[in-house]
Amino acid sequence: MDLQPVLDDIVATLEPQLGAGKVASYIPALASVSPRRLGIALRTREGAEYRAGDANTPFSIQSVSKLFTLTLAMRHLGDTLWERIGREPSGNPFNSLVQLESEQGVPRNPFINAGAIAVADRLVSCCDSARADILALLSSLSGETIVFDEEVAASEASSGFRNIALANFMKSFGKLDNDVAQVLDFYFHQCSVAMSCVQLARAAAYLCSDGRHPLTGEAVVTERQARRINALMLTCGTYDAAGEFAFRIGLPCKSGVGGGIVAVLPDTLSLCVWSPGLDETGNSLLGMKALELFVARTGLSVF
Ligand code: DON
């Protein structure tokens, strides 16, 4: 199937809706991004790449970074990672505090903010420099130099009251080993990474090729770990919209409040869509529609 006309047609179909949704404003540095952007990029398991719209424009990857910190943590820690983090959908917003109290500071999954902060804590413990390691992983996977956006990181640090509360809460249960400030510094930086749809579609390619690096073929994670990351994306990657995503799209997805969504069809392709306008669950409104159109037009889905 020629996928280029499919991507072009998705962008053209959604053009009249550009500007729909609300750009995340609780992180001040994100509020100034134009909502009238839409990009889509795809990479097949064989390495063919396709792009349409604003596919080359870097954007704030935000929670999409949680996919890659989880990958790094699974690589370093294996199954011991799961001693402090669950694998169940939370059914709550990504920044909710409510379950942490009744569940003694153990986050439901690694993709809600509390879970990603717990992963960040483990990485701060086991890496010489967690910051350098996440950039090295992203740069290696995408084949290009990837950097933090220091303005976004500083903006998050100055407005991240909920994340500060989540981290302190987990610390009070003895579930964080490192200083809260150090863990959050890493967490805010991982969220601030800027990447384009093309770079992210490539970076996620190991998830559609049994854990193998898209450019070198080396193991990024084991086949079993890649399967498990995909399972977590499907069940938890889009927070309390995960059921709706599975119903309407049927692909493992990971979203971020910058408006990016990475999706994977195991053994076949990885793709990334970006449009900054969000729905009330914090997922990209047009990004979700673009994925829905992609599945409808190609029939490519895990179901
Ligand atoms: O911690 C936060 O709230 C943001 N840095 C990331 C949240 C996010 O992207 C959730 N995704 N939809």
- Percentage of the chain beyond pLDDT 90 is 99
pLDDT in tens, 103-153: 999 999 999 999 999 999 999 999 999 999 999 999 999 999 999 999 999
Average pLDDT of 37-42?
98
The reply to whether 206 belongs to the active site is: no
Cβ proximity of 286 and 18 under 8 Å: yes
**Closest ligand 1 atom, CA of 258?**
9
Kindly give the distance from the C-alpha atom of residue 26 to the centroid of ligand 1, in angstroms, as a whole number: 10
The one-character DSSP state at 212 is B
Kindly give the distance from the C-alpha atom of residue 250 to the centroid of ligand 1, in angstroms, as a whole number: 22
The verdict on the CB of residue 113 being under 6 Å from ligand 1 is: yes
pLDDT value of residue 49: 98
Phi, psi angle pair for 55, to nearest 5°? -70, -20
pLDDT in tens, 178-228: 999 999 999 999 999 999 999 999 999 999 999 999 999 999 999 999 999
pLDDT value of residue 52: 98
Q: Is 252 left (phi over 0), alpha (psi -120 to 50) or beta?
A: beta
The verdict on the CB of residue 149 being under 6 Å from ligand 1 is: no
Kindly give the distance from the C-alpha atom of residue 130 to the centroid of ligand 1, in angstroms, as a whole number: 19
Q: Taking the CB of residue 16, how many other CB atoms lie within 10 A of it?
A: 8
Average pLDDT of 265-294?
97
Ordered domains of the chain (ranges, CATH): 4-62+194-298 (3.40.710.10), 64-191 (3.40.710.10)
Question: Using 50, 70 and 90 to split pLDDT, how confident is the model at 97?
Answer: very high
Q: What is the pTM of this model?
A: 0.98
- Percentage of the chain beyond pLDDT 70 is 100
pLDDT value of residue 1: 85
